[in-house]
Amino acid sequence: MKAVFDCVSIFPEMFAALTGSGITRKAQEAGLWSLALWNPRDYADNAWRTVDDRPYGGGPGMVMRAAPLEAAIHAARARQQAAGVTKSRVIYLSPQGVPLNHASVVEMAADTRAGVGLVLLCGRYEGVDERLIERVVEEEISIGDFVVSGGELAAMLLMDAIIRQLPGALGDAASAAEDSFVSGLLDCPHYTRPEVYAGQAVPEALLSGDHARIRRWRLKASLARTRKRRPELLAQRALSAEETQLMTEIRLEQCGEQ
Ligand code: SAM
């Protein structure tokens, strides 16, 4: 089944970044995913279509009101049911949520393929009325320990990461399999023409045409890069016999350099 996304946002036009460009656009045209946008302003109960109000207790900023958001989420769930989803996961993009990572993206991609729809709630201002979260939100997801102005970019990041995992979304399925984090390592460095750029040559192994040698070079480069930049990833991962051997070589080479 295609992945079904519904986003609740006061800036639905922002989602053109996903539907209008690149891999996500092609995947949508190929029928791998669908998107419906729900503007809570369409569910506001006042002539000015305002969806925010001052916070109780005072202080700066505004808070998104619960009622228009709940009505928009309700409409999103109804359209997902009509589209044949087995269940809707209502997710609030929030800096206070569970940090997003590769494992959760893969899990959500599998869920969408199994018929689960995602309803993504994009906050603005100081956030949304807590009672709305308690009533209808099932999960909160964060894109990192920093704050952006609204949930739209966070929702689009999540969707892009999921769409990349859908079979047929990438021109070459192998490229997703070699991405950082998939095997618990960072990806190796990449090079393209010319062979020498600004006096720097492409590593000789990559020009050798020897597939076994190239594979070994890439694995070693991935291990070395992960060790240098994200050592905690290596600590969480069991190494194969070949990887253990390569790590020994990397340590010895580093000792030699010092
Ligand atoms: N006052 C909130 C706080 O400190 O937790 C931040 C509100 S932020 C300015 C407005 C909206 O942007 C949030 O409601 C949320 O939807 C979204 N947002 C901001 N940072 C985010 C992050 N790191 N991950 C996911 N969503 C985020």
- Report the pLDDT value the prediction gives residue 115, as an integer from 0 to 100: 97
- Report the pLDDT value the prediction gives residue 200, as an integer from 0 to 100: 98
**Ligand 1 within 6 A of CB of 142:** yes
- Report the pLDDT value the prediction gives residue 2, as an integer from 0 to 100: 95
**How many whole angstroms from 62 Cα to the centroid of ligand 1?**
13
Q: Is residue 100 pLDDT above 90, yes or no?
A: yes
- Cβ within 8 Å of residue 165, ≥6 positions away: 105, 106, 109, 176
CATH superfamily of 3-164: SPOUT methyltransferase, trefoil knot domain (3.40.1280.10)
Cα separation, 41 vs 69, in Å, equals: 9
CATH assignment of 196-257, among 1.20.1260.120, 1.10.1270.20, 1.10.260.40, 1.10.1200.10:
1.10.1270.20
Query: What value does the mean pLDDT of the chain take?
Result: 97
| pLDDT per residue as tens digits for the range 174-201 | 778 889 999 999 999 999 999 999 999 9
Q: Give Dmax (Cα) for the chain.
A: 73
**How many whole angstroms from 166 Cα to the centroid of ligand 1?**
27
**How many whole angstroms from 146 Cα to the centroid of ligand 1?**
8
Cα separation, 85 vs 184, in Å, equals: 32
Cα separation, 242 vs 227, in Å, equals: 16
Quick check: 61 and 127 in contact, CB under 8 A?
Answer: no
**Ligand 1 within 6 A of CB of 12:** no
Instruction: pLDDT band for 225, please (50, 70, 90 cuts).
Output: very high
- Residues acting as catalytic residues: 95, 126, 164, 179
Token code pair at residue 96: 């206070």
**Protein residue whose Cα sits closest to atom 6 of ligand 1:** 126
Cα separation, 189 vs 233, in Å, equals: 17
Q: pTM of the predicted model, to two decimals?
A: 0.96
**For the chain, domain boundaries:** 3-164, 196-257
**Protein residue whose Cα sits closest to atom 27 of ligand 1:** 94
C-alpha closest to that of 124 among 71, 69, 76: 69
| pLDDT per residue as tens digits for the range 109-145 | 999 999 999 999 999 999 999 999 999 999 999 999 9
Spacing of C-alpha 34 from chain mean position: 16
Cα separation, 27 vs 167, in Å, equals: 10
**How many whole angstroms from 140 Cα to the centroid of ligand 1?**
11
**Protein residue whose Cα sits closest to atom 22 of ligand 1:** 95
How large is the angle between the packed helices 151-164 and 22-29, nearest 10 degrees? 60
**Ligand 1 within 6 A of CB of 150:** yes
**Ligand 1 within 6 A of CB of 96:** yes
| pLDDT per residue as tens digits for the range 155-175 | 999 999 999 999 999 988 777
- Report the pLDDT value the prediction gives residue 4, as an integer from 0 to 100: 98
